[in-house]
């Protein structure tokens, strides 16, 4: 059996004079051993890393979990608030102080002129004074030995003479017997009134007149000493009666 040659060191000088044949194999083996050592160190480091104490979770993961929890809490709170009954808020328009403070629009009211009071005309009495304000110059009765059958009423010539009551004109003109221009008015109740000595007559026979209507104007025609109205009342034609008491009972005072 051939014995293996003693292993020579790389640094041992070759005494045989031959080139060493096994030196490359040894180098390769060293390289393999170094690589294996490095692999072993790497595996060990991995083992140490995996078998070491637990490290705390990364801060980023922890912050993300907290954000999700806060978001979930906000969503839950929003859902509760939306389901809760809404509390009515005080409206500015509903506030009494605001309502009272707001100016109320004023309406422009145009003052209507007060209606003028209507003049009330008193109804004309059934019987009136034929010449209001006149002076009495002679009453009914005996005068100079004869009957003065009427009342003489004097005012300036041309003063209007008025019908003592409503009726119909039966005569208008010169009645003779000293009466001059005269008018007779029939009142339809059996009585007539006579107006003598007129300067001018203002009515015609058959005309309807009212109480107080102008029928002529004072004068001195006929047997007259001056302008005046000779006023008579006839109970039936030419049946003269005292005009004073007759007119007095009808509300007219002729002054006799």
Of 157, 135, 235, give the one whose Cα is nearest residue 193: 235
Between 104 and 237, name the one with better pLDDT: 237
Alpha helices, DSSP H, located in 192-254 = 243-248
Distances from the Cα of 167 to the Cα of 33, 127, 189, 195, angstroms: 173, 11, 10, 14
The predicted pLDDT at position 12 comes to 43
Predicted TM-score of the model (pTM): 0.54
Q: How many percent of the chain have pLDDT more than 90?
A: 48
The predicted pLDDT at position 85 comes to 54
- Partner residues linked to 201 by β-bridges: 216
State whether residue 175 is helix, strand or coil: coil
Domain segments of the chain as ranges: 135-248
Judge whether residue 250 has pLDDT over 70: yes
Nearest-angstrom CA–CA distance, 80 and 85: 10
Judge whether residue 216 has pLDDT over 60: yes
Judge whether residue 205 has pLDDT over 90: yes
Tell me the pLDDT tens digit for each residue of 67-85.
777 776 676 666 565 555 5
Between 225 and 102, name the one with better pLDDT: 225
CATH of domain 135-248: 2.70.70.10
Judge whether residue 51 has pLDDT over 50: no
Judge whether residue 50 has pLDDT over 50: no
């Amino acid at each position: 059996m051939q014995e293996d040659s003693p292993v020579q060191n790389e640094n041992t000088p070759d005494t045989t004079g031959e080139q060493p044949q096994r030196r490359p194999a040894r180098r390769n083996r060293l390289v393999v051993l170094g690589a294996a050592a490095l692999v072993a160190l790497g595996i060990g480091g991995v083992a140490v890393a995996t078998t070491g104490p637990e490290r705390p979770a990364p801060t980023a993961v922890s912050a993300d979990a907290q954000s999700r929890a806060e978001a979930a809490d906000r969503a839950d709170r929003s859902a509760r608030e939306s389901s809760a009954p809404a509390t009515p808020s005080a409206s500015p328009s509903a506030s009494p102080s605001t309502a009272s403070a707001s100016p109320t629009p004023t309406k422009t009211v145009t003052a209507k002129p007060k209606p003028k009071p209507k003049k009330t005309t008193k109804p004309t009495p059934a019987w009136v004074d034929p010449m209001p304000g006149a002076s009495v110059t002679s009453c009914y009765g005996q005068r100079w030995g004869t009957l003065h059958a009427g009342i003489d009423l004097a005012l300036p010539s041309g003063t209007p003479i008025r019908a003592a009551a409503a009726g119909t004109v039966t005569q208008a003109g010169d009645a003779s017997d000293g009466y001059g221009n005269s008018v007779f008015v029939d009142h339809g109740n059996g009585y007539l009134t006579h107006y003598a000595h007129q300067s001018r007559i203002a009515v015609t026979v058959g005309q309807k007149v009212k109480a107080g209507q102008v029928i002529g104007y004072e004068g001195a025609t006929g047997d007259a000493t001056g302008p005046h109205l000779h006023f008579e009342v006839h109970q039936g034609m030419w049946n003269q009666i005292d005009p004073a008491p007759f007119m007095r009972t009808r509300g007219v005072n002729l002054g006799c």
